[in-house]
Amino acid sequence: MTTEIVTPKELHKVDPVFGQVSFDNHEQIVFCNDKDTGLKAIIGIHNTVLGPALGGTRMWKYTNEWEALNDVLRLSRGMTYKSAVSGLNLGGGKAVIIADAKTEKTPEMIIKFGQFINSLSGKYITAEDVGTTTADMDLIRDYTAHVTGISESRGGSGNPSPVTAYGVYMGMKAAAKFQLGSDNLSGKKVLVQGIGHVGETLVDYLTKEGALVQITDINEGRLQEIENKYGATIYKGADLYSADVDIYAPCALGATINDETIHRIKARVIAGAANNQLANEVVHGQLLKDMGIAYAPDFLINAGGIINVYGEIVGYGKDEAMRRTENIYNTTLEIFHFAQTQGITTHQAALAIAEKRIEERKREK
């Protein structure tokens, strides 16, 4: 799931849409253009076998349209697998708006986008993502019912990050059980990279359980704050990947497990919130397996957020969202055992389980 850009010079080599590197039998791709508001958006509907395609809207100043198209194709496919492996009756979709969220976003543009979503009659349901906010979703809600992540005062499910953190914590415990023999994290050395919305709540769970938590972040002020609040230790080493820890939790950026870092990793377990942690799913997934490192697939253990917004569609509350998120523990263990018996990577195992669910539903239909 890496973004690849096809340059205009290479145009003749591939078909413009269905020939894109990230095209994966997507059901529908909708290009939205509105001259008056400057809206240029692409909605990618990857698969709706399990239900409507749900996924956030990313607003980003893409370098060119190819980059935007590939991003929406890649991200919408990812949503299909995330929902399927989490047992949700949702398909995979995503939208991108080609604009700078800081300087180009206007209410008129968001309204127009909401009207485009409405024209799809519920086949695609949006939510917030990078560059869009709860306030944007509230505005979209005035023009379509097919939006989640709206504010709690309007019947929404509220901030998904604490639920995401709970799922990561559950996935981490399951990975520890499989790899280290116990899911009790007391005394276990855990390095949390990125102590933002998700990372902070994860640190809270871990320190409460008695784990020995070290933290890293590019934001110095945040490090001090979290150290004081939870008693976590700021990691002081020069190279965080070679840190002497049991568990590495990437909760900042994607692709931190790459050619440069992978051979330095000393942790026995990797379990974190960041999306697309493996720079190359196939190559780095296999290398982790060969190195005997238990990798909890990111798209499985960071699904708490989507489980939370799913409640807005099917009408359950926070308790049910937490119960379903807790089940990430069982699914993670199931995936580790399945990967072990099949001799495949955990990433492949998670994809296989998701695909099986989609295929079964297709047959039922």
229 is catalytic: no
Report, in Å, the least distance between residue 43 CB and ligand NAD.
20
Report, in Å, the least distance between residue 186 CB and ligand NAD.
24
When the beta carbons of 99 and 300 are compared against ligand NAD, the nearer one is 300
When the beta carbons of 184 and 275 are compared against ligand NAD, the nearer one is 275
When the beta carbons of 6 and 257 are compared against ligand NAD, the nearer one is 257
* Residue 56 within binding range of ligand NAD, rule CB under 6 A: no
Strand order in the sheet with 212-216: 233-234, 212-216, 189-193, 247-250, 269-270, 294-295
When the beta carbons of 39 and 223 are compared against ligand NAD, the nearer one is 223
As a dihedral over the C-alpha atoms of residue 189, residue 192, residue 197, residue 203, rounded to 10 degrees, the angle is 10
CA terminus-to-terminus distance, the chain: 29
- Residues with Cβ within 8 Å of 262's Cβ and at least 6 positions away in sequence, in order, are 284, 287, 288, 291
| 3 state DSSP class of 29 | strand
Tell me if 51 sits within 8 A of 79, measured CB to CB: no
Q: 92: how many CB neighbours lie within 10 A of its CB?
A: 30
Lay out the site mask for ligand NAD across 283-302 (x = CB under 6 A, - = otherwise).
-------------------x
Residues that bind ligand NAD (rule: CB under 6 A) add up to a total of 24
Report, in Å, the least distance between residue 308 CB and ligand NAD.
8
Of the candidate spans 50-58, 96-104, 268-276, 356-364, the one that interacts with ligand NAD by CB under 6 A turns out to be 268-276
Lay out the site mask for ligand NAD across 193-222 (x = CB under 6 A, - = otherwise).
xxxxxxx----------------xxxx--x
Strand blocks (E) in 128-236: 189-193, 212-216, 233-234
* Residue 305 within binding range of ligand NAD, rule CB under 6 A: yes
What's the full length of the chain, in residues?
365
CA distance 3 to 346: 22
Q: Which of 40, 94, 112, 123 is catalytic?
A: 94
Binding residue for ligand NAD, selected from 147, 191, 273, 335, defined by CB under 6 A: 273
CA distance 131 to 140: 15
Active-site annotation, residues: 94
Q: Which residues bind ligand NAD (CB under 6 A)?
A: 160-161, 164, 193-199, 216-219, 222, 251-254, 273-275, 302, 305
